[in-house]
Structure 1
Amino acid sequence: MAPLWRATDEQSWFDALAVLGKRCGFDQTLFAVIPRPGMRFSDVYLRSDYASAWRDTYDERAFVRIDPTVSHCMTQTAPLIWSSSLFTDRGQQEMYEEARRHGLCTGISLPIHGPKQEVGMLCFVCGDQSARELDNQVRRYLPMLTLLRDVAFDTAQRFVASHTASLIPKLTPREYECLQWTAQGKSTWEIAKIFGCSEATVNFHMANIRTKFGVSSRSAAAVKATRMGLIDPD
Protein backbone atom coordinates (compact mmCIF):
# COMPACT_ATOMS: atom_id res chain seq x y z
CA MET A 1 0.00 0.00 0.00
CA ALA A 2 2.95 2.32 0.53
CA PRO A 3 3.17 3.39 -3.15
CA LEU A 4 -0.31 4.92 -2.84
CA TRP A 5 0.77 7.06 0.09
CA ARG A 6 4.01 8.06 -1.61
CA ALA A 7 2.43 9.01 -4.94
CA THR A 8 3.09 12.67 -5.71
CA ASP A 9 0.58 13.07 -8.54
CA GLU A 10 -2.64 11.57 -9.83
CA GLN A 11 -1.11 9.42 -12.55
CA SER A 12 1.50 7.83 -10.30
CA TRP A 13 -1.22 7.23 -7.70
CA PHE A 14 -3.44 5.36 -10.16
CA ASP A 15 -0.50 3.48 -11.66
CA ALA A 16 0.37 2.25 -8.16
CA LEU A 17 -3.23 1.16 -7.61
CA ALA A 18 -3.29 -0.76 -10.90
CA VAL A 19 0.01 -2.47 -10.09
CA LEU A 20 -1.37 -3.63 -6.75
CA GLY A 21 -4.40 -5.02 -8.56
CA LYS A 22 -2.17 -6.92 -10.97
CA ARG A 23 -0.25 -8.41 -8.03
CA CYS A 24 -3.57 -9.92 -6.94
CA GLY A 25 -4.05 -11.41 -10.41
CA PHE A 26 -6.35 -8.82 -11.98
CA ASP A 27 -5.83 -7.33 -15.42
CA GLN A 28 -7.68 -4.01 -15.19
CA THR A 29 -8.66 -1.51 -12.50
CA LEU A 30 -11.31 1.16 -12.08
CA PHE A 31 -11.74 3.67 -9.25
CA ALA A 32 -14.82 5.91 -9.24
CA VAL A 33 -16.41 8.25 -6.69
CA ILE A 34 -19.43 10.55 -6.82
CA PRO A 35 -18.15 13.26 -4.47
CA ARG A 36 -21.40 14.60 -3.03
CA PRO A 37 -25.01 13.44 -2.63
CA GLY A 38 -27.26 14.29 -5.53
CA MET A 39 -24.48 14.88 -8.04
CA ARG A 40 -24.94 13.31 -11.45
CA PHE A 41 -23.20 10.19 -12.69
CA SER A 42 -21.53 12.43 -15.25
CA ASP A 43 -19.88 14.34 -12.39
CA VAL A 44 -18.09 11.23 -11.16
CA TYR A 45 -14.38 11.24 -10.41
CA LEU A 46 -13.16 8.24 -12.39
CA ARG A 47 -9.82 6.73 -13.23
CA SER A 48 -9.33 3.39 -14.99
CA ASP A 49 -7.13 1.53 -17.39
CA TYR A 50 -10.11 0.08 -19.24
CA ALA A 51 -9.98 0.37 -23.02
CA SER A 52 -10.95 3.87 -24.12
CA ALA A 53 -13.28 2.38 -26.76
CA TRP A 54 -15.20 0.60 -23.98
CA ARG A 55 -15.41 3.74 -21.85
CA ASP A 56 -16.74 5.68 -24.85
CA THR A 57 -19.34 3.01 -25.59
CA TYR A 58 -20.31 2.81 -21.92
CA ASP A 59 -20.93 6.55 -21.76
CA GLU A 60 -22.61 6.87 -25.15
CA ARG A 61 -25.10 4.09 -24.39
CA ALA A 62 -25.58 5.19 -20.77
CA PHE A 63 -24.79 1.70 -19.47
CA VAL A 64 -24.36 3.19 -16.00
CA ARG A 65 -28.16 3.15 -15.68
CA ILE A 66 -28.41 -0.62 -16.11
CA ASP A 67 -25.01 -1.75 -14.82
CA PRO A 68 -25.71 -4.17 -11.91
CA THR A 69 -22.26 -3.54 -10.42
CA VAL A 70 -23.04 0.16 -10.13
CA SER A 71 -26.48 -0.35 -8.59
CA HIS A 72 -24.95 -2.77 -6.09
CA CYS A 73 -22.19 -0.40 -5.04
CA MET A 74 -24.61 2.52 -4.70
CA THR A 75 -26.78 0.63 -2.22
CA GLN A 76 -24.68 -2.12 -0.64
CA THR A 77 -21.45 -2.36 1.35
CA ALA A 78 -20.37 -5.95 0.72
CA PRO A 79 -18.00 -6.73 -2.18
CA LEU A 80 -19.67 -8.06 -5.32
CA ILE A 81 -18.02 -10.91 -7.18
CA TRP A 82 -19.39 -10.90 -10.71
CA SER A 83 -19.34 -12.88 -13.92
CA SER A 84 -21.68 -13.29 -16.90
CA SER A 85 -24.49 -14.70 -14.70
CA LEU A 86 -24.96 -11.33 -12.97
CA PHE A 87 -26.17 -9.71 -16.19
CA THR A 88 -29.69 -11.03 -16.49
CA ASP A 89 -31.99 -8.96 -18.70
CA ARG A 90 -31.48 -8.27 -22.39
CA GLY A 91 -29.92 -4.84 -21.95
CA GLN A 92 -27.48 -6.11 -19.34
CA GLN A 93 -26.56 -9.10 -21.48
CA GLU A 94 -25.81 -6.81 -24.43
CA MET A 95 -23.73 -4.66 -22.13
CA TYR A 96 -21.81 -7.68 -20.86
CA GLU A 97 -21.06 -8.96 -24.36
CA GLU A 98 -19.71 -5.55 -25.30
CA ALA A 99 -17.61 -5.45 -22.12
CA ARG A 100 -16.30 -8.96 -22.77
CA ARG A 101 -15.04 -7.88 -26.18
CA HIS A 102 -12.88 -5.34 -24.35
CA GLY A 103 -11.46 -7.83 -21.87
CA LEU A 104 -13.90 -7.37 -18.98
CA CYS A 105 -15.20 -10.86 -18.26
CA THR A 106 -15.15 -11.41 -14.49
CA GLY A 107 -14.25 -9.29 -11.52
CA ILE A 108 -14.89 -7.92 -8.08
CA SER A 109 -16.45 -4.56 -7.26
CA LEU A 110 -15.89 -3.12 -3.80
CA PRO A 111 -18.39 -0.41 -2.77
CA ILE A 112 -17.12 2.90 -1.42
CA HIS A 113 -19.21 4.84 1.10
CA GLY A 114 -17.34 7.81 2.53
CA PRO A 115 -17.88 9.90 5.68
CA LYS A 116 -19.22 12.84 3.64
CA GLN A 117 -21.77 10.63 1.86
CA GLU A 118 -19.47 9.93 -1.06
CA VAL A 119 -20.40 6.79 -3.00
CA GLY A 120 -18.32 4.87 -5.45
CA MET A 121 -16.54 1.68 -6.32
CA LEU A 122 -13.16 0.08 -6.74
CA CYS A 123 -13.22 -2.63 -9.41
CA PHE A 124 -10.65 -5.24 -10.33
CA VAL A 125 -11.34 -7.15 -13.52
CA CYS A 126 -10.02 -10.19 -15.33
CA GLY A 127 -10.19 -11.05 -18.98
CA ASP A 128 -10.66 -14.75 -19.66
CA GLN A 129 -11.30 -16.50 -16.36
CA SER A 130 -13.88 -18.98 -15.06
CA ALA A 131 -16.16 -18.14 -12.16
CA ARG A 132 -14.45 -20.85 -10.11
CA GLU A 133 -11.01 -19.39 -10.76
CA LEU A 134 -12.28 -15.97 -9.78
CA ASP A 135 -13.82 -17.30 -6.60
CA ASN A 136 -10.53 -18.93 -5.57
CA GLN A 137 -8.64 -15.76 -6.39
CA VAL A 138 -11.00 -13.58 -4.36
CA ARG A 139 -10.90 -15.94 -1.39
CA ARG A 140 -7.13 -15.60 -1.35
CA TYR A 141 -6.95 -11.83 -1.75
CA LEU A 142 -10.23 -10.44 -0.38
CA PRO A 143 -8.77 -9.09 2.92
CA MET A 144 -6.04 -7.29 0.99
CA LEU A 145 -8.49 -5.97 -1.60
CA THR A 146 -10.78 -4.60 1.11
CA LEU A 147 -7.87 -2.83 2.77
CA LEU A 148 -6.71 -1.60 -0.62
CA ARG A 149 -10.17 -0.11 -1.25
CA ASP A 150 -9.96 1.89 2.00
CA VAL A 151 -6.40 3.08 1.40
CA ALA A 152 -7.22 4.02 -2.18
CA PHE A 153 -10.18 6.10 -1.04
CA ASP A 154 -8.12 7.87 1.64
CA THR A 155 -5.19 8.64 -0.64
CA ALA A 156 -7.45 9.82 -3.47
CA GLN A 157 -9.03 12.59 -1.40
CA ARG A 158 -6.84 15.38 -2.77
CA PHE A 159 -7.62 14.37 -6.35
CA VAL A 160 -11.35 14.00 -5.69
CA ALA A 161 -11.41 17.40 -3.95
CA SER A 162 -9.72 19.06 -6.92
CA HIS A 163 -12.17 17.40 -9.31
CA THR A 164 -15.16 18.49 -7.21
CA ALA A 165 -13.94 22.08 -7.04
CA SER A 166 -13.81 22.19 -10.84
CA LEU A 167 -17.52 21.30 -11.00
CA ILE A 168 -18.77 23.97 -8.60
CA PRO A 169 -19.79 27.31 -10.14
CA LYS A 170 -18.02 30.37 -8.77
CA LEU A 171 -20.62 32.69 -7.24
CA THR A 172 -20.26 36.29 -6.15
CA PRO A 173 -21.26 37.04 -2.53
CA ARG A 174 -24.52 38.62 -3.73
CA GLU A 175 -25.34 35.66 -5.99
CA TYR A 176 -24.72 33.35 -3.08
CA GLU A 177 -27.15 35.36 -0.92
CA CYS A 178 -29.77 35.35 -3.66
CA LEU A 179 -29.48 31.60 -3.95
CA GLN A 180 -29.67 31.12 -0.20
CA TRP A 181 -32.88 33.18 0.05
CA THR A 182 -34.34 31.42 -2.99
CA ALA A 183 -33.73 28.06 -1.33
CA GLN A 184 -35.71 29.35 1.64
CA GLY A 185 -38.67 30.15 -0.56
CA LYS A 186 -38.30 33.90 -0.88
CA SER A 187 -39.73 35.64 -3.96
CA THR A 188 -37.94 38.19 -6.10
CA TRP A 189 -39.91 40.96 -4.40
CA GLU A 190 -38.98 39.68 -0.93
CA ILE A 191 -35.30 39.34 -1.80
CA ALA A 192 -35.28 42.87 -3.22
CA LYS A 193 -36.75 44.18 0.02
CA ILE A 194 -34.13 42.29 2.07
CA PHE A 195 -31.29 43.70 -0.06
CA GLY A 196 -32.80 47.17 -0.40
CA CYS A 197 -32.52 47.02 -4.20
CA SER A 198 -34.82 46.74 -7.21
CA GLU A 199 -36.41 43.52 -8.43
CA ALA A 200 -34.53 44.04 -11.70
CA THR A 201 -31.24 43.80 -9.81
CA VAL A 202 -32.33 40.55 -8.17
CA ASN A 203 -33.43 39.18 -11.56
CA PHE A 204 -30.02 40.15 -12.97
CA HIS A 205 -28.27 38.12 -10.26
CA MET A 206 -30.64 35.18 -10.72
CA ALA A 207 -30.03 35.15 -14.50
CA ASN A 208 -26.28 34.92 -13.82
CA ILE A 209 -26.89 32.11 -11.35
CA ARG A 210 -28.99 30.12 -13.85
CA THR A 211 -26.28 30.51 -16.46
CA LYS A 212 -23.53 29.35 -14.10
CA PHE A 213 -25.50 26.28 -13.04
CA GLY A 214 -26.74 25.51 -16.56
CA VAL A 215 -30.40 25.40 -15.52
CA SER A 216 -33.56 27.20 -16.66
CA SER A 217 -35.11 28.12 -13.32
CA ARG A 218 -34.03 29.56 -9.99
CA SER A 219 -35.55 26.63 -8.13
CA ALA A 220 -33.45 24.20 -10.16
CA ALA A 221 -30.35 26.25 -9.34
CA ALA A 222 -31.22 26.15 -5.63
CA VAL A 223 -31.72 22.39 -5.73
CA LYS A 224 -28.45 21.87 -7.55
CA ALA A 225 -26.56 24.15 -5.13
CA THR A 226 -28.05 22.31 -2.17
CA ARG A 227 -27.01 18.94 -3.58
CA MET A 228 -23.49 20.25 -4.09
CA GLY A 229 -23.37 21.40 -0.49
CA LEU A 230 -23.03 25.07 -1.43
CA ILE A 231 -26.06 26.18 0.54
CA ASP A 232 -28.14 24.91 3.43
CA PRO A 233 -31.85 25.61 2.91
CA ASP A 234 -32.45 25.15 6.63
Structure 2
Amino acid sequence: MEYLETALSELLDSLEAANSESEFYAAAERLARRSGFRWFAYFANAGANRKALSSYPRSWVRRYLDKSYEHLDPVIAKAQSTHKYFLWDSRATSVNAKAQRRFFDEAAEFGIRWGITLPIRSGQGRFAALTLAAESADAFSALSEIGSIELLQIAALYYHAHAHAKLQFGRVRTVDKLLTEREGQCLWWSAQGKTTYEIATILGISKRTVVFHLENARSKLQVSNITQAVAQALLRRLIGP
Protein backbone atom coordinates (compact mmCIF):
# COMPACT_ATOMS: atom_id res chain seq x y z
CA MET A 1 0.00 0.00 0.00
CA GLU A 2 3.04 2.25 0.30
CA TYR A 3 2.95 3.10 -3.39
CA LEU A 4 -0.67 4.23 -3.03
CA GLU A 5 0.33 6.50 -0.16
CA THR A 6 3.03 7.95 -2.41
CA ALA A 7 0.51 8.37 -5.23
CA LEU A 8 -1.82 10.24 -2.87
CA SER A 9 0.97 12.54 -1.68
CA GLU A 10 1.95 13.29 -5.27
CA LEU A 11 -1.67 14.02 -6.14
CA LEU A 12 -2.03 16.48 -3.27
CA ASP A 13 1.12 18.29 -4.36
CA SER A 14 -0.18 18.38 -7.93
CA LEU A 15 -3.59 19.73 -6.91
CA GLU A 16 -2.07 22.53 -4.84
CA ALA A 17 -0.30 23.76 -7.96
CA ALA A 18 -2.98 22.98 -10.55
CA ASN A 19 -4.82 25.94 -12.07
CA SER A 20 -5.79 24.77 -15.54
CA GLU A 21 -7.77 21.93 -17.04
CA SER A 22 -4.61 20.42 -18.53
CA GLU A 23 -2.94 20.37 -15.11
CA PHE A 24 -5.95 18.65 -13.54
CA TYR A 25 -5.89 16.15 -16.39
CA ALA A 26 -2.21 15.42 -15.75
CA ALA A 27 -2.78 15.02 -12.01
CA ALA A 28 -5.57 12.47 -12.47
CA GLU A 29 -3.73 10.60 -15.20
CA ARG A 30 -0.67 10.31 -12.93
CA LEU A 31 -2.84 9.03 -10.07
CA ALA A 32 -4.40 6.37 -12.32
CA ARG A 33 -1.04 5.15 -13.58
CA ARG A 34 0.56 5.14 -10.13
CA SER A 35 -2.43 3.18 -8.79
CA GLY A 36 -2.08 0.48 -11.43
CA PHE A 37 -4.88 1.63 -13.75
CA ARG A 38 -4.66 2.82 -17.34
CA TRP A 39 -7.37 5.48 -17.54
CA PHE A 40 -9.30 7.93 -15.41
CA ALA A 41 -12.65 9.65 -15.84
CA TYR A 42 -13.94 12.51 -13.69
CA PHE A 43 -17.49 13.77 -13.92
CA ALA A 44 -19.22 16.42 -11.81
CA ASN A 45 -22.78 17.65 -12.00
CA ALA A 46 -23.75 20.85 -10.18
CA GLY A 47 -27.07 21.73 -11.76
CA ALA A 48 -26.51 23.68 -14.96
CA ASN A 49 -22.74 23.48 -14.55
CA ARG A 50 -20.97 20.26 -15.45
CA LYS A 51 -17.38 19.21 -15.80
CA ALA A 52 -15.94 16.09 -17.42
CA LEU A 53 -12.31 15.06 -17.84
CA SER A 54 -11.16 11.70 -19.15
CA SER A 55 -8.09 9.96 -20.51
CA TYR A 56 -10.15 7.30 -22.30
CA PRO A 57 -9.26 6.68 -25.98
CA ARG A 58 -10.43 9.62 -28.08
CA SER A 59 -12.34 7.38 -30.47
CA TRP A 60 -14.38 6.03 -27.53
CA VAL A 61 -14.99 9.54 -26.17
CA ARG A 62 -16.24 10.67 -29.61
CA ARG A 63 -18.62 7.73 -29.79
CA TYR A 64 -19.75 8.34 -26.20
CA LEU A 65 -20.58 11.97 -26.97
CA ASP A 66 -22.08 11.33 -30.42
CA LYS A 67 -24.49 8.77 -28.99
CA SER A 68 -25.22 10.77 -25.80
CA TYR A 69 -24.17 7.81 -23.70
CA GLU A 70 -24.11 9.93 -20.53
CA HIS A 71 -27.87 9.23 -20.34
CA LEU A 72 -27.29 5.48 -20.63
CA ASP A 73 -23.97 4.92 -18.84
CA PRO A 74 -24.63 2.40 -16.01
CA VAL A 75 -21.57 3.63 -14.10
CA ILE A 76 -22.81 7.23 -14.00
CA ALA A 77 -26.30 6.04 -13.08
CA LYS A 78 -25.02 4.04 -10.14
CA ALA A 79 -22.68 6.83 -9.01
CA GLN A 80 -25.70 9.12 -8.80
CA SER A 81 -27.56 6.74 -6.52
CA THR A 82 -24.92 5.64 -4.00
CA HIS A 83 -22.41 7.10 -1.55
CA LYS A 84 -20.23 4.00 -1.60
CA TYR A 85 -17.44 3.13 -3.99
CA PHE A 86 -18.14 0.24 -6.37
CA LEU A 87 -16.20 -2.02 -8.69
CA TRP A 88 -17.56 -2.75 -12.14
CA ASP A 89 -16.84 -5.26 -14.83
CA SER A 90 -17.85 -5.00 -18.49
CA ARG A 91 -18.93 -8.65 -18.31
CA ALA A 92 -21.26 -7.98 -15.36
CA THR A 93 -24.18 -10.39 -15.51
CA SER A 94 -26.30 -7.96 -13.49
CA VAL A 95 -26.51 -5.65 -16.50
CA ASN A 96 -29.68 -6.93 -18.11
CA ALA A 97 -30.96 -4.03 -20.19
CA LYS A 98 -29.96 -4.57 -23.81
CA ALA A 99 -28.84 -0.97 -24.28
CA GLN A 100 -26.61 -1.09 -21.20
CA ARG A 101 -25.24 -4.47 -22.22
CA ARG A 102 -24.38 -3.00 -25.61
CA PHE A 103 -22.76 0.01 -23.90
CA PHE A 104 -20.40 -2.23 -21.91
CA ASP A 105 -19.66 -4.36 -24.98
CA GLU A 106 -18.71 -1.27 -26.97
CA ALA A 107 -16.51 0.06 -24.16
CA ALA A 108 -14.76 -3.31 -24.03
CA GLU A 109 -13.90 -2.94 -27.73
CA PHE A 110 -11.65 -0.06 -26.66
CA GLY A 111 -10.12 -2.07 -23.79
CA ILE A 112 -12.25 -0.52 -21.05
CA ARG A 113 -13.31 -3.63 -19.13
CA TRP A 114 -12.73 -3.09 -15.41
CA GLY A 115 -12.93 -0.14 -13.06
CA ILE A 116 -13.53 1.34 -9.65
CA THR A 117 -15.80 4.36 -9.27
CA LEU A 118 -15.68 6.64 -6.24
CA PRO A 119 -18.83 8.79 -5.90
CA ILE A 120 -18.76 12.16 -4.10
CA ARG A 121 -22.14 13.44 -2.88
CA SER A 122 -22.62 17.07 -1.85
CA GLY A 123 -26.37 17.58 -1.43
CA GLN A 124 -29.03 19.43 -3.47
CA GLY A 125 -28.74 16.86 -6.23
CA ARG A 126 -25.09 17.66 -6.87
CA PHE A 127 -22.64 14.82 -7.27
CA ALA A 128 -19.29 13.92 -8.72
CA ALA A 129 -17.40 10.72 -9.37
CA LEU A 130 -13.82 9.71 -10.08
CA THR A 131 -13.35 6.47 -12.00
CA LEU A 132 -10.13 4.53 -12.53
CA ALA A 133 -10.33 1.94 -15.29
CA ALA A 134 -8.19 -0.80 -16.79
CA GLU A 135 -8.08 -3.47 -19.46
CA SER A 136 -7.76 -6.37 -17.03
CA ALA A 137 -8.58 -7.28 -13.44
CA ASP A 138 -4.88 -7.16 -12.53
CA ALA A 139 -5.36 -3.52 -11.53
CA PHE A 140 -7.67 -4.65 -8.72
CA SER A 141 -5.08 -6.83 -6.99
CA ALA A 142 -3.61 -3.97 -4.94
CA LEU A 143 -7.06 -2.84 -3.82
CA SER A 144 -7.35 -5.91 -1.60
CA GLU A 145 -4.77 -4.41 0.77
CA ILE A 146 -6.25 -2.94 3.93
CA GLY A 147 -6.71 0.80 3.63
CA SER A 148 -6.14 1.00 -0.13
CA ILE A 149 -9.76 1.87 -0.96
CA GLU A 150 -9.78 4.52 1.76
CA LEU A 151 -6.73 6.17 0.18
CA LEU A 152 -8.45 6.29 -3.21
CA GLN A 153 -11.57 7.76 -1.62
CA ILE A 154 -9.46 10.49 -0.03
CA ALA A 155 -7.84 11.11 -3.41
CA ALA A 156 -11.27 11.45 -5.07
CA LEU A 157 -12.50 13.89 -2.41
CA TYR A 158 -9.43 16.11 -2.67
CA TYR A 159 -9.53 16.00 -6.46
CA HIS A 160 -13.15 17.09 -6.58
CA ALA A 161 -12.66 19.82 -3.96
CA HIS A 162 -9.81 21.39 -5.94
CA ALA A 163 -11.55 20.95 -9.30
CA HIS A 164 -14.71 22.56 -7.95
CA ALA A 165 -12.81 25.53 -6.55
CA LYS A 166 -10.41 26.11 -9.44
CA LEU A 167 -12.13 24.90 -12.61
CA GLN A 168 -15.60 25.99 -11.51
CA PHE A 169 -17.24 23.45 -13.79
CA GLY A 170 -16.65 24.85 -17.22
CA ARG A 171 -15.19 28.25 -16.39
CA VAL A 172 -11.54 27.35 -16.58
CA ARG A 173 -9.30 29.76 -14.77
CA THR A 174 -6.74 31.15 -17.19
CA VAL A 175 -3.13 31.84 -16.41
CA ASP A 176 -1.73 34.93 -18.06
CA LYS A 177 1.84 33.64 -18.16
CA LEU A 178 3.03 30.40 -19.68
CA LEU A 179 4.65 29.45 -16.38
CA THR A 180 3.13 29.70 -12.93
CA GLU A 181 4.96 31.72 -10.29
CA ARG A 182 6.23 28.56 -8.59
CA GLU A 183 7.42 27.04 -11.86
CA GLY A 184 9.31 30.24 -12.64
CA GLN A 185 10.88 30.31 -9.18
CA CYS A 186 12.02 26.71 -9.43
CA LEU A 187 13.53 27.29 -12.88
CA TRP A 188 15.23 30.49 -11.72
CA TRP A 189 16.94 28.81 -8.77
CA SER A 190 17.86 25.88 -11.01
CA ALA A 191 19.48 28.42 -13.33
CA GLN A 192 21.55 29.56 -10.34
CA GLY A 193 22.90 26.03 -9.99
CA LYS A 194 20.77 25.03 -7.01
CA THR A 195 19.83 21.37 -6.50
CA THR A 196 16.21 20.30 -6.02
CA TYR A 197 16.94 19.87 -2.31
CA GLU A 198 18.35 23.40 -2.07
CA ILE A 199 15.40 24.85 -4.02
CA ALA A 200 12.99 23.05 -1.70
CA THR A 201 14.74 24.57 1.31
CA ILE A 202 14.76 28.07 -0.19
CA LEU A 203 11.08 27.99 -1.16
CA GLY A 204 9.88 26.09 1.89
CA ILE A 205 8.29 23.25 -0.09
CA SER A 206 9.04 19.55 -0.46
CA LYS A 207 11.67 18.22 -2.84
CA ARG A 208 8.92 16.25 -4.58
CA THR A 209 6.98 19.47 -5.18
CA VAL A 210 10.05 21.11 -6.71
CA VAL A 211 10.42 18.17 -9.11
CA PHE A 212 6.72 18.46 -9.96
CA HIS A 213 7.04 22.18 -10.84
CA LEU A 214 10.21 21.65 -12.86
CA GLU A 215 8.59 18.82 -14.83
CA ASN A 216 5.51 20.93 -15.50
CA ALA A 217 7.69 23.76 -16.76
CA ARG A 218 9.70 21.38 -18.95
CA SER A 219 6.47 20.02 -20.46
CA LYS A 220 5.05 23.51 -21.12
CA LEU A 221 8.28 24.61 -22.79
CA GLN A 222 8.26 21.42 -24.89
CA VAL A 223 11.84 20.42 -24.19
CA SER A 224 13.36 17.11 -23.13
CA ASN A 225 15.19 18.04 -19.91
CA ILE A 226 15.39 20.68 -17.18
CA THR A 227 18.64 22.19 -18.51
CA GLN A 228 16.90 22.94 -21.80
CA ALA A 229 13.88 24.27 -19.91
CA VAL A 230 16.08 26.72 -18.01
CA ALA A 231 17.74 27.83 -21.25
CA GLN A 232 14.38 28.33 -22.99
CA ALA A 233 12.92 30.23 -20.04
CA LEU A 234 15.91 32.58 -19.94
CA LEU A 235 15.90 33.04 -23.71
CA ARG A 236 12.20 33.85 -23.74
CA ARG A 237 12.58 36.08 -20.68
CA LEU A 238 10.09 34.03 -18.70
CA ILE A 239 12.45 34.11 -15.72
CA GLY A 240 15.05 36.59 -14.62
CA PRO A 241 16.23 38.78 -11.76
Same fold flag (TM > 0.5): yes
Gaps of 5+ in 2: 1-11, 173-241
Of 11-20 and 148-157, more deviation after overlay is shown by 11-20
- Aligned match of 2:132: 124
Displacement of 1:26: 0.6
SS at match of 1:156: helix
- Per-residue deviation, 1:134: 4.8
Per the alignment, residue 115 of structure 2 pairs with: 107
Hey, what's the Cα distance between the residues in 2 that align with 1:29 and 1:16?
Answer: 10
Aligned to 2:98: 90
Deviation at 1:81, TM superposition (A): 0.2
Unaligned runs of 5+ in 1: 166-234
The answer on whether the counterparts of 1:35 and 1:164 sit within 8 Å (CA) in structure 2 is no
- Amino acid of the residue matched to residue 37 of structure 2? F
1:156 aligns with 2:163: yes
- Give the corresponding residue for 2:23: 12
SS at match of 2:30: helix
RMSD of the TM alignment (CA)? Answer: 2.3
1:22 maps to amino acid: R
8 Å CA contact retained: 1:35, 1:160: no
Q: Distance in 1 between matches of 2:143 and 2:118?
A: 12
Q: Given the superposition, is the C-alpha separation of residues 164 and 57 from structure 1 closer, same or farther in structure 2, using an over 3 Å criterion?
A: same
3-state DSSP of counterpart to 2:84: coil
Aligned residues: 158
Q: SS of 2:117's equivalent?
A: strand
Deviations 1:93-139 (A, max 9, x none): 21111111112110011112125642121000001x13xx4543322
Q: State how 1:55-70 maps to structure 2 within 5 Å.
A: 55-70=61-76
Q: TM-score, normalised by structure 1?
A: 0.61
Aligned to 2:41: 30
Q: Which residue number in structure 2 is paired with residue 213 of structure 1? A: none
Q: Which residue of 2 aligns with 1:146?
A: 153
Q: Which moved more, 1:98-107 or 1:138-147?
A: 138-147
Query: 1:10·1:159 contact (CA, 8 Å) conserved in 2?
Result: no
Counterpart secondary structure, 2:112: coil
Alignment correspondent of 2:54 = 48
Structure 2: which amino acid aligns with 1:67?
D
Identical-pair percentage: 17
- Tell me if the contact between 1:69 and 1:80 (Cα under 8 Å) persists in the aligned partners: no
> With structure 2 as the length reference, what TM-score do the two structures score?
0.59
What is the alpha-carbon distance in structure 2 between the residues aligned to residue 17 and residue 115 of structure 1? Answer: 24
2:15, 2:24 within 8 Å by CA — same for their partners in 1?
yes
2:32 pairs with 21, 38, 51, which one?
21
